[in-house]
Every structure is written in C-alpha cells, then in structure tokens.
C-alpha cells in the first residue's frame, strides 16, 4: 500500500465519520421543529395581532422559549400578552406545543420579527423570522378639523377621598367630633348671650275648652256689636265655635257650612242637648254675615250666651280617679278638666 493509498483511506474514513456524525446530528435536530406565524402580516398602527409559535418535539424533551425582553419583541413591536403553552399529543411519542403572543405596534413601517429561539439543553432551535407591516391611519388633510369634546365631569366619579387632604381623611371622625363640639359650644354661647334657657320650654297646647272660653271672653270685652260691627262680631263667634268643634270633636268644622255642622253634630250624643242652641247661632250669623242683617242688641247678647252654653255643656268630663292623679301631680298638663258640679 502506497503512502497515497493510506492517505486516501484515512481521508475516506474521516469523511465517513464526519458524515455519520452529521447524519446523527441531523437526526437529533429533526426531532424539534419550531415554526412561527402571524395572524395578520399588516395592521393599522395601534391595532393588535397574534404571533403564533408552534413547537413539535419528542415527549420528555425539556426546552424553553427564550424572550430577550418580556415587554417587546423589537423596539417598535410591543408584546402585550403571552398565553400559556398549550400541549397536544400527536402520537408516536411526539407532542405539539402552541404559544400565542399578542403584539401591537404604534409606529408605521415594516418590522422584522426575529426568529423565536427554543433552547433544549445546549441546542437552540429557531423559527423563521417574519415581517410585520404597520400601516399609518389615513388622514384626510382637506377635511375640516372637528372640535374636541369637553371632558365630561360626570364620567369621572367623585370620590371624597381624592379631594380631602390626607390629614383630614385619615382622622375624619376626630374632625367631625371637634366640629360638633365647637357647634354645640357656639349654640350654648348664643343662648347664654340672649338669656335663653338651655333646654327649650315645651309648648303646651291650650285645651279646646279653655281656648274657646278665653276667645269668647275676649270677644265680649272687645264690644264689637256695640260699636256697629255686627258682621265682625258674628264672624268671630262662628270662627270660635268652628275651631272649638274642630278640636273638641275632631270634625272638619272650619271647612263646613252651617248646615253641614248642624247635620254632623245631630248624630253626636254629647251635643244633643245643645244642638238647637248652635243651630240658632249659626242661622243668625249667616243672616248677619251674608245678608247684612242687623239683629237687636238682645239677640247679639243671646247669641254670645248660647255660644258660651254650647262650649260649657260640651266640656269633656274627666273620671274622678284620673282627676285626683292630676291634682297630685301639679306639673301635669291636661286638655281635660272636670265639669263643675
């Protein structure tokens, strides 16, 4: 064997080894395949599209996708969302891993999306690189520029906490307490200055009987009919009686006509004895008020007396034991009084 033949054999053997290694390496590389695809290769600036990565590999092979920057694929293409890997069993000890990356671009132009890198041990597998075209928004330069809408204040909900300074918001109840104390102090001071009692006195409602009697006495003292004011005299008498009946019997007498009052009280046992008296007063009063009638002085006196009798006879009767209780308690205010024996 010549030297050249030996060299030839060595070269051939080396080539065979290299080829075997190359085939083995190729066989290993063929087990992992990474592909990339864009849902839309052209988008309007600001819009989004999805970059879908597909990795097909043998089961049990551990690898991971390498992203240089979790926020952007390139300086102009932002990565908005990255879905979880979705694995599908393809059979024959093969699996498919799907990943979807939501991307967005705001500047117009054509951008190269670099190949995705999938690292398995010391090996790195790459997908093909893709191109994304970002189209600018068409602007009609000849069109009118429309006015901008005002900011709607209602759209922004009012939150008190945003408006209050922190030193108030953090100690709000202490502040409220302080304001209440100050207001109370001012109120007490004002009442003290005006000489008013600290506790306002209870307004005691005058019982209907007492009110009617007082009003009738005042009417008598005013001497209206003696001064030629019969109309005013009878108007006052009927007003006193109407108000008394209203409060005493809870009848809407102020808004009733004379006829209605008489008809209503006809059913009432408490007024049965004096209904006639009342009817006579109202009849005379109607004549004076609406027909300019001028009764004789005796009639005027009689009308007052009848009114007084009506009020006296319909005065509420109080049970004796109740009366005693009231006598024992001098502060006790009552609307009812015992009828004189």
Partner 1 sequence: MSEQVNIRELNELIAGKSSFVSLITHGMNQTIVGQHHLVESLLTALLADGHILLEGVPGLAKTLAIRTLAQLIDAKYNRIQFTPDLLPADVVGTMVYSVKNEKFEVKRGPIFANLILADEINRAPAKVQSALLEAMQERQVTIGDSTFKLQEPFLVMATQNPIEQEGTYPLPEAQVDRFLMKVVIGYPNKEEEKQIIRQNIAPEPAEVHALVKPEEIIDVRRIVNQIYIDEKIERYIVDIVFATREPEAAGLADLKSIIAFGASPRASISLARCARAFAFLKGRGYVIPEDVRAVCHDTMRHRIGLTYEAEANNITADEIINTILDKIPVP
Q: Which residues bind partner 1 (CB under 8 A)?
A: 235, 252, 254-260, 286, 289-294
Structure tokens at 73: 């694929």
Contacts of 48 by beta carbon, 8 Å cutoff, 6+ apart: 80, 102, 103, 104
Q: Are 215 and 241 in contact (CB under 8 A)?
A: no
Q: Which is nearer to partner 1, 82 or 286 (CB)?
A: 286
If the CB atoms of residues 67 and 256 are measured against partner 1, the closer one turns out to be 256
DSSP 1-43: --HHHHHHHHHHHHHHHHHHHHHHHHHHHTT-EEEEEES-SEE
**Distance in Å, CB of 276 to partner 1, minimum:** 19
Q: How far apart are CA 275 and CA 259, in angstroms?
A: 12
Q: Which is nearer to partner 1, 257 or 305 (CB)?
A: 257
Write down the least CB distance from residue 286 to partner 1, Å: 5
Is residue 230 within 8 A of residue 295, CB to CB? The reply is yes
CB of 289 to partner 1, least distance (A): 6
Nearer to partner 1, 2 or 292 (CB): 292
Q: Which residue has the tokens 């109740």?
A: 322
Task: Name which of 117 and 289 has its Cβ closer to partner 1.
Answer: 289
What φ, ψ does residue 317 adopt, rounded to 5°?
A: -100, 135
Q: What is the DSSP letter of 297?
A: H
Which one, 183 or 254, has the nearer CB to partner 1? 254
Question: Torsion angle, CA of 307/313/317/323, rounded to 10 degrees?
Answer: 70
What residues contact 96, with CB distance under 8 A and at least 6 apart?
A: 54, 55, 56, 87, 88, 90
Looking at the Cβ atoms of 148 and 290, the one nearer to partner 1 is 290
Closest separation in Å from C-beta 272 to partner 1: 23
Find the shortest distance in angstroms from Cβ 218 to partner 1: 20
CB of 258 to partner 1, least distance (A): 7
Tokens of 170: 């953090």
| Smallest distance from partner 1 to CB 178, Å | 40
């Amino acid at each position: 064997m010549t030297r050249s033949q030996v060299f030839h054999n060595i070269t051939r053997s080396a080539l065979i080894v290299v080829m075997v290694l190359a085939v083995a390496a190729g066989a290993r590389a063929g087990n992992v395949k990474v592909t990339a695809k864009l849902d839309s290769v052209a988008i309007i600036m600001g819009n989004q599209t999805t970059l879908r990565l597909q990795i097909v590999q043998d089961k049990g092979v551990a690898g991971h996708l390498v992203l240089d920057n979790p926020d952007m694929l390139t300086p102009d293409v932002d990565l908005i969302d990255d879905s979880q890997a979705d694995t599908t069993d393809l059979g024959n000890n093969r699996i498919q891993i799907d990943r979807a990356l939501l991307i967005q671009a705001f500047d117009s132009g054509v951008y190269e999306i670099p190949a995705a890198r999938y690292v398995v041990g010391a090996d790195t597998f790459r997908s093909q690189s893709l191109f994304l075209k970002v189209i600018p928004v068409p602007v009609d330069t000849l069109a009118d520029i429309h006015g901008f809408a005002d900011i709607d204040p209602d759209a922004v909900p009012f939150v008190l906490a945003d408006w209050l300074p922190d030193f108030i918001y953090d100690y709000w109840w202490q502040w409220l307490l302080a304001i209440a104390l100050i207001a109370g102090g001012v109120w007490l001071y004002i009442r003290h200055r005006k000489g008013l009692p600290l506790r306002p006195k209870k307004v005691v409602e005058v019982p209907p009987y007492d009110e009617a009697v007082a009003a009738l006495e005042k009417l008598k003292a005013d001497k209206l009919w003696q001064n030629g004011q019969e109309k005013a005299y009878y108007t006052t008498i009927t007003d006193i009686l109407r108000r008394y009946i209203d409060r005493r019997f809870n009848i809407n007498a102020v808004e009733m006509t004379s006829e209605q009052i008489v008809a209503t009280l006809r059913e009432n046992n408490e007024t049965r004895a004096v209904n006639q008296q009342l009817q006579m007063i109202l009849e005379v009063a109607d004549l004076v008020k609406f027909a300019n009638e001028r009764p004789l002085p005796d009639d005027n006196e009689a009308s007052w007396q009848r009114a007084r009798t009506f009020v006296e006879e319909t005065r509420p009767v109080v049970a004796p034991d109740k009366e005693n209780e009231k006598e024992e308690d001098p502060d006790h205010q009552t609307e009812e009084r015992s009828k004189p024996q």
